[in-house]
């Protein structure tokens, strides 16, 4: 029995009846159960995450070598001779068989040595780590703005469901969901960097440079998350425990933020975690539009030059971050709903 169910049962008692003596319920044993299950669950999820990362890296290794284009030609240019191309391929190790390249790749992966970037002439892993803080900064700023705006907006829309105000908010969120990132970014640059020069148009010179890229990323996320919150909250408002709580005179603010929103938290948290993980993988379009020195723009350059080590290092770093975010989201589920047992689903 969760706290919500306990509150509902108390609310359903006739007025003036004596309160029964508290009983130990499965909820009272949740902290001990979670503590015992946590190490095993984390170990299992880490093993699954490591397998997912390995399969992702292997898939990328195969796909980039199947893609058209020659890294040696990209480096040497159109005027290179056949001898120059052969020498560059030998220096890159591309003259060996794909299987040999894969074995060397796995050996380097064990030592976090993914080779030297063709474009930067530096260790590929170091190049990615130097760009990673910019992507993390943009992603964190965007997800914080999304959370602060989308959740209250979704609650507001749910409270005014099927009204003209809610219809207007729906139109705005659908418009935000329909606008491409590059168009939103260009419009923000035109208005707030050209017509009204308040913020820088590109690069990362001061913290004000973070504003326009953050808003560009957050517009789509706010539209998606607010509509999800609205849907979950409307379902929660029609639940029997909300009717009973209202009949007992529970304040509306407490009904919304303690009962309805808490019961809607798990799907919303899942969506936020998924969106945050995708941002960490590199918001490619936004970073290119704003010349943001993050992982996304680095991926574009790596693909243009067929920089195999740089592509593989980027995939490694972003894949690890994505699985760590998903693991953190999974570990937050029992905190939001004590009925959730790690690794066992939901119990009664």
| pLDDT tens sequence across 277-292 | 888 876 888 888 898 9
Give pLDDT, residue 189.
93
Q: What does the pLDDT average to over 192-217?
A: 89
Summarize pLDDT for 109-166 with one digit per residue, the tens: 888 888 888 888 888 889 999 999 999 999 999 999 999 999 999 888 888 887 888 7
CA separation, residue 122 to residues 89, 114, 210 (Å): 18, 11, 28
> Is there a contact between 57 and 318 (Cβ–Cβ < 8 Å)?
no
Asked if residue 47 has pLDDT above 50, the reply is yes
> Is there a contact between 283 and 185 (Cβ–Cβ < 8 Å)?
no
Beta-carbon count within 10 A of 339 CB: 17
Beta-carbon count within 10 A of 148 CB: 12
The residues pairing with 345 across neighbouring beta strands, listed in sequence order, are: 341
Cα–Cα–Cα angle for 250, 256, 269, rounded to 5 degrees? 145
Residue 131 structure tokens? 């760009």
Which of 105 and 69 is assigned the larger pLDDT?
A: 105
> Is there a contact between 153 and 165 (Cβ–Cβ < 8 Å)?
no
Mean pLDDT across the chain: 79
Asked if residue 3 has pLDDT above 60, the reply is no
Give pLDDT, residue 34.
52
The residues pairing with 341 across neighbouring beta strands, listed in sequence order, are: 345
Cα–Cα–Cα angle for 265, 267, 273, rounded to 5 degrees? 95
Rg of the chain's alpha carbons, rounded to an integer?
26
Give pLDDT, residue 12.
42
Give pLDDT, residue 339.
65
Give pLDDT, residue 215.
93
Asked if residue 212 has pLDDT above 90, the reply is yes
Residue 338: pLDDT band by 50, 70, 90 thresholds?
A: low
Residue 175: what are its φ and ψ, rounded to 5°?
-65, -45
Topology of domain 31-68+112-346, CATH: MetI-like fold (1.10.3720)
Which of 17 and 313 is assigned the larger pLDDT?
A: 313
Residue 14: what are its φ and ψ, rounded to 5°?
-60, 145
Residue 37: pLDDT band by 50, 70, 90 thresholds?
A: low
Token look-up 């170091």 returns: 126
Summarize pLDDT for 242-260 with one digit per residue, the tens: 778 778 887 878 788 777 8
Q: Which helix (H) or strand (E) covers residue 340, if one does?
A: strand 340-341
> Is there a contact between 228 and 268 (Cβ–Cβ < 8 Å)?
yes
Residue 133 structure tokens? 């803080």
Residue 322: what are its φ and ψ, rounded to 5°?
-65, -45
């Amino acid at each position: 029995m969760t706290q919500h169910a306990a509150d509902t049962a108390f609310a359903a008692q006739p007025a003036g009846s004596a309160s029964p003596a508290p009983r130990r319920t499965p909820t009272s044993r949740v902290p001990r159960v979670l503590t015992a299950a946590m190490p095993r669950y984390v170990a299992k999820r880490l093993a699954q995450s490591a397998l997912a990362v390995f399969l992702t890296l292997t898939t990328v290794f195969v796909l980039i070598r199947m893609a058209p284009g020659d890294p040696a030609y990209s480096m040497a240019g159109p005027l290179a001779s056949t001898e120059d191309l052969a020498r560059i391929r030998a220096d890159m190790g591309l003259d060996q068989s794909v299987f040999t390249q894969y074995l060397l790749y796995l050996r380097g992966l064990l030592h976090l040595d993914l080779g030297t970037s063709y474009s930067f002439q530096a260790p590929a892993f170091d190049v990615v780590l130097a760009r990673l803080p910019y992507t993390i900064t943009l992603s964190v700023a965007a997800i914080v703005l999304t959370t602060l705006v989308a959740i209250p907006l979704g609650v507001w829309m749910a409270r005014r469901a099927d009204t003209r105000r809610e219809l207007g908010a729906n139109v705005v969120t659908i418009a935000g969901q329909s606008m491409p990132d590059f168009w939103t970014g260009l419009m923000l640059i035109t208005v707030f960097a050209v017509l009204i020069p308040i913020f820088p148009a590109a690069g990362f010179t001061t913290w004000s440079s973070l504003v326009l890229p953050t808003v560009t990323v957050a517009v789509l996320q706010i539209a998606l998350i607010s509509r999800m919150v609205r849907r979950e909250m409307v379902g929660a408002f029609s639940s029997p425990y909300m009717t009973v709580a209202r009949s007992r005179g529970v304040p509306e603010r407490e009904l919304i933020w303690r009962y309805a929103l808490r019961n809607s938290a798990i799907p919303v948290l899942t969506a936020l975690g998924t969106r945050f993980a995708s941002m960490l993988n590199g918001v490619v379009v936004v970073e290119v539009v704003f010349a943001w020195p993050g992982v996304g723009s680095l991926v574009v350059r790596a693909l243009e030059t067929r920089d195999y080590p740089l592509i593989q290092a980027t995939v490694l770093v972003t894949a690890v971050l994505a699985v760590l975010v998903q693991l953190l989201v999974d570990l937050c589920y029992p905190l939001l709903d004590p009925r959730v047992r790690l690794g066992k689903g939901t119990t009664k």
